[in-house]
């Protein structure tokens, strides 16, 4: 098995130097995935992420939109700057994986902050109880302080 990237002159030069690469092999050209393939792949990859159904549907639509918009932007990038930018199914899978990684990271960060705030709140509640207890003790000692004066 031999794999070449269609980017640049490398593939063309190789084919010119070795014509049997074309004559004696099968070339699989990978094209863009259709919308239903993007949908099923996103459902599979985001299926194990803990979220509500409506949020999962929104995330699936979001990653599809990002992929399709990037494809459209790559065409304008080519026409404006004469530079190729390839949007492949691999980049779609990497985007979903990155999304899952960032989501997990942010969830851990938010849970850490939530725990910190809960601990702080509990500390404030305990402090309030201690202050009210000390307030009662002070009120009980008030007559003794008056006598001692």
Buried b (16+ CB within 10 A) or exposed e, 94-116: ebbeebeeeeeeeeeeeeeeeee
HSE (CB half, 13 Å, CA atoms) of 118? Answer: 6
Average pLDDT rounded to a whole number, residues 3-29: 71
pLDDT digits over 97-114, tens only? Answer: 999 999 999 999 999 999
> In whole angstroms, what is the distance from residue 143 CA to residue 149 CA?
10
Q: Cβ(5)–Cβ(29) under 8 Å?
A: no
Between 54 and 23, where is the model more confident?
A: 54
Rounded to two decimals, the pTM is 0.66
Q: Give the position of tokens 């530079």.
A: 83
Please report which confidence band the pLDDT of residue 29 belongs to, taking 50, 70 and 90 as the band edges: low
Phi, psi of 21 (to 5 degrees): -60, -35
Which residues does 49 contact at the CB level (< 8 Å), separation at least 6? Answer: 56, 59, 100, 103
Per-residue tokens: 71: 């494809």
Q: Which of 97, 74, 96 is nearest to 7 (CA)?
A: 74
Between 82 and 110, where is the model more confident?
A: 110
> Given this model, what pLDDT does residue 52 score?
94
HSE (CB half, 13 Å, CA atoms) of 74? Answer: 12
pLDDT digits over 69-81, tens only? Answer: 999 999 999 999 9
Residue 67 has pLDDT above 70, yes or no: yes
pLDDT digits over 116-146, tens only? Answer: 999 999 999 999 999 999 999 988 888 888 8
Average pLDDT, the chain: 87
Dihedral sign of CA atoms 49, 55, 56, 60 in order: negative
Q: Cβ(56)–Cβ(49) under 8 Å?
A: yes
DSSP 8-state class, residue 117: H
> Given this model, what pLDDT does residue 4 score?
60
């Amino acid at each position: 098995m031999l794999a070449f990237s269609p980017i640049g002159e490398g593939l063309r030069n190789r084919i010119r130097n070795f014509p049997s690469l074309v004559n004696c092999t099968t070339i699989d050209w990978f094209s863009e995935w259709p919308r239903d393939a993007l949908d099923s792949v996103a459902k599979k990859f985001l299926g194990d992420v803990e979220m509500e159904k409506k949020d999962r549907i929104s995330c699936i639509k979001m990653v599809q939109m990002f992929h399709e918009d990037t494809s459209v932007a790559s065409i304008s990038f080519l026409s404006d700057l004469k530079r190729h930018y390839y949007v492949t199914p691999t980049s779609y899978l990497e985007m979903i994986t990155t999304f899952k990684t960032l989501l997990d990271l942010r969830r851990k960060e938010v849970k850490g902050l939530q725990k910190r705030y809960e601990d702080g709140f509990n500390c404030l509640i305990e402090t309030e109880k201690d202050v009210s207890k000390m307030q009662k003790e002070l009120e009980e000692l008030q007559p003794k302080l008056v006598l001692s004066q």
